Amino acid sequence: MKPRLQIDWDVTWLDEVTSTNDAVLNAVKSGCREGTVIVARTQTRGRGRRGNAWHSPDGGLWCSLLLRPELRADELWGLTAAAALAAVGGLRNLTGLPVGIKWPNDIYVGGKKLGGIMAESSGGAVVVGIGLNANIGSADLPRIEWYPVTSVLVETGEIIDPAVLLEGILSEFCERYGLLVEQGFSGLLGEWRELSVVLGKRVRMECDGRVFKGTAVELDGQGGIIIGPQDGTRRRFEPRPGVSLGLEASDGERAKSP
Using the rule CB under 6 A, give the single segment among 18-26, 138-146, 181-189, 216-224 that binds ligand BTN: 18-26
Q: How far is the CB of 75 from ligand BTN (least distance, A)?
A: 20
**CB under 6 A: which stretch of 58-66, 67-75, 204-212, 213-221 binds ligand BTN?**
58-66
Could you tell me which stretch among 4-12, 17-25, 135-143, 196-204 binds ligand BTN (CB under 6 A)? 17-25
Q: State in Å, rounded, how far the first CA of the chain is from the last one.
A: 35
Which member of 7, 20, 155, 176 binds ligand BTN (CB under 6 A)?
A: 20
For the four alpha carbons of 156, 159, 164 and 167, in that order, the dihedral sign comes to: positive
Return the closest-CA partner of residue 164 out of 137, 208, 199, 132.
132
Say which residues have a Cβ less than 8 Å from residue 251's Cβ, sequence separation at least 6.
111, 201, 202
Tally the residues of the chain. 258
Rounded CA-CA distance 131/129 in Å is 7
Q: Rule CB under 6 A: is residue 116 a binding residue for ligand BTN? A: yes
The answer, yes or no, to whether the previous bond of 69 is cis (omega within 30 of 0) is no
Q: Minimum distance from CB of 239 to ligand BTN (Å)?
A: 12
- Using CB under 6 A, which of 104, 131, 223, 246 touches ligand BTN? 131
Q: How far is the CB of 202 from ligand BTN (least distance, A)?
A: 21
| Neighbour tally for 14: CB within 10 Å | 14
Report the residue number, 42 or 215, with the smaller CB distance to ligand BTN: 42
Distance set, CA 208 to CA 50, 233, 255 (Å):
12, 18, 17
Note whether 21 binds ligand BTN by CB under 6 A: yes
| Euclidean distance between CA atoms 171 and 217, whole angstroms | 31
Report the distance separating Cα 121 and Cα 18, nearest Å: 18
What is the number of alpha carbons within 13 Å of residue 143 lying toward its C-beta?
1
Binding residue (CB under 6 A) for ligand BTN from 7, 48, 77, 170: 48
The answer to the question of residue 102 lying near ligand BTN (CB under 6 A) is: no
Q: How far is the CB of 48 from ligand BTN (least distance, A)?
A: 3
Q: Is there binding between residue 80 and ligand BTN (CB under 6 A)?
A: no
Provide, rounded to whole angstroms, the least separation between the CB of residue 49 and ligand BTN.
Answer: 4
Quote the least distance from Cβ 50 to ligand BTN, whole Å: 7
Q: Which of 46, 89, 104, 246 binds ligand BTN (CB under 6 A)?
A: 46
What does the alpha-carbon distance between residue 106 and residue 123 come to, in Å, rounded to a whole number? 26
Minimum CB distance to ligand BTN, residue 2 (Å) = 29
Which residues of this chain interact with ligand BTN, rule CB under 6 A? 19-21, 43, 46-49, 52, 54, 62-64, 105-106, 116-118, 129-131
